[in-house]
């Protein structure tokens, strides 16, 4: 029986790499963001300004992912800052996964910038694992314009751990026979699913390396850490039997989130943000010909506590006001005004190709009203596509600082402007 061969493929500094590749390949720019001190961060005038991705030259200044932008600028005043473009990143991710499927049909996307590929039985097509990984890495660079790390093993866990050994643009193996030499000396915090809280508990038990965890008494770990203790003990010993599960290629849902310039402390402020998010989510759904029957909201407090709430609709829709109405109901149920909020998000799932409604007492609309709302939204989309998103907005956004179309889409890419907005 052929030995399992699993690749874990991870895009190096994905957001920065994808932005750089887009500027070079599509916009024809000559400057490569990856070769200069640069970062992806939000508007420096608001609290969006957290480092999301950094170049290798920026890393040499001590700039770290997750730190405030103002601190990064203190370390490197000449730092080039670009805003995130999540629509571009989703598009790049789709191309990335599509290319992986050229090597094997069994691809499981783990996040927007990483995936597992089951390469078992493909040796006659692509050669030994290292050779196949090298060809995969080279083809991604030539066709898509960015680099990746490839971890190789016989299971998903060890393949992912191997991919994290050294970056960027590297290939590493971590088969079971290499665990004791390559894996066990690493600090326990490097182990998958070991967070800061678990690390502190393990330190109290005298466990500081993955090897020490692997050799610890599993009964004691289970007693102190519950089921999680047993799980990470198996991981420390390189055990993981999960199969690579191919994911459907179509979107499972549409969502947007935004970090507000100041804390949201009232229902009116929160609803205004939710409406701006529903505008962009519904627009994307209509563009793709999708409707959804489940709406959820995601809220993050000023203390970084996160909670969410969802509900099923009486039908599937992509009408902005219908999604907004559901989001407002969820918002009222989930938040009573305290604590203040710093981030809000809206997501629509349970997708279908056609809208449908149960026109009953609970729906609140007649078929004619439903049709008129849909036609109105489609007309607004046409106007925004032709003249830019600011050609029309809802009255409640007049004389407010809140963007009427908030979320992760790049303003440049949303509006259809032929030239990017000059950066600050």
* Cα(240)–Cα(179) distance, integer angstroms: 13
Cβ 178 vs Cβ 187: under 8 Å: no
CB-based contacts of 336, cutoff 8 Å, min separation 6: none
- Which tokens is 233 given? 């003990």
CB-based contacts of 48, cutoff 8 Å, min separation 6: 41, 42, 258, 259
Annotated active-site residue 114? The verdict is yes
Helix (H) or strand (E) holding 418: none
Q: How far is CA 218 from the centre of its chain?
A: 34
Long-range contacts of 268-273 (CB under 8 A, 24+ apart): 269/402, 270/331, 270/335, 270/341, 270/344, 271/328, 271/331, 272/396, 272/397, 272/400, 272/402, 273/344, 273/402, 273/406
Catalytic residue among 114, 269, 279, 322: 114
* Cα(76)–Cα(70) distance, integer angstroms: 10
First to last CA, the chain: 59
> Tokens 């004791």 appear where?
180
Q: How many residues in the chain?
A: 424
Cβ 327 vs Cβ 295: under 8 Å: yes
- Which tokens is 206 given? 């005298």
Q: What residues are labeled active site?
A: 114
């Amino acid at each position: 029986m052929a030995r399992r061969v699993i690749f874990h493929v991870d895009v190096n500094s994905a957001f920065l790499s994808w932005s750089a590749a887009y500027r070079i390949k599509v916009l024809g720019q000559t400057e490569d963001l990856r070769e200069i001190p640069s970062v992806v961060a939000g508007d420096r005038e608001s609290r969006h300004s957290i480092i999301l991705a950094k170049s290798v030259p920026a890393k040499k200044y001590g700039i770290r992912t997750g730190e405030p932008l103002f601190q990064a600028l203190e370390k490197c005043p000449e730092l080039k800052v670009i805003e995130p473009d999540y629509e571009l990143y989703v598009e790049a991710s789709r191309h990335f996964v599509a290319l992986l499927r050229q090597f094997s049909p069994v691809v499981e996307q783990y996040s927007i910038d990483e995936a597992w590929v089951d390469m078992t039985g493909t040796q006659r097509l692509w050669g030994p694992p290292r050779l196949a990984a090298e060809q995969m890495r080279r083809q991604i660079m030539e066709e898509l314009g960015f680099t990746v790390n490839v971890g190789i093993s016989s299971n998903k866990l060890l393949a992912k751990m191997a991919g994290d050994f050294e970056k960027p643009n590297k290939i590493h193996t971590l088969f079971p026979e290499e665990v004791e030499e390559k894996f066990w000396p690493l600090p326990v915090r490097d182990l998958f699913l070991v967070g800061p809280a678990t690390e502190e508990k393990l330190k109290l038990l005298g466990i500081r390396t993955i090897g020490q965890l692997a050799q610890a008494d599993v009964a004691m770990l289970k007693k102190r850490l519950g089921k999680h203790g047993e799980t990470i003990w198996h991981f420390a010993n390189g055990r993981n039997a999960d199969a690579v599960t191919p994911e459907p290629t179509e979107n499972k849902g549409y969502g947007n989130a935004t970090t507000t310039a100041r804390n949201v402390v009232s229902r009116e402020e929160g609803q205004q943000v939710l409406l701006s998010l529903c505008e962009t989510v519904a627009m994307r759904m209509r563009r793709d010909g999708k409707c959804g029957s489940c709406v959820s909201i995601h809220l993050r407090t000023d203390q970084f506590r996160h909670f969410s709430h969802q509900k099923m609709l009486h039908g599937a829709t992509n009408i902005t006001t219908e999604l907004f109405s559901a989001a407002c109901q969820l918002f009222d149920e989930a938040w009573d005004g305290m604590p203040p909020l710093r981030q809000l998000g809206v997501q629509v799932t349970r997708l279908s190709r056609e809208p449908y409604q149960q026109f009953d007492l609970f729906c609140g609309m007649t078929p004619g009203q439903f049709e008129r709302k849909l036609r109105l939204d489609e007309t607004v989309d046409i106007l925004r596509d032709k003249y830019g998103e600011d050609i029309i907005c809802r009255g409640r956004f007049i004389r407010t600082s809140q963007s009427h179309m908030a979320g992760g889409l790049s303003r440049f890419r949303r509006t259809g402007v032929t030239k990017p907005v000059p950066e600050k």
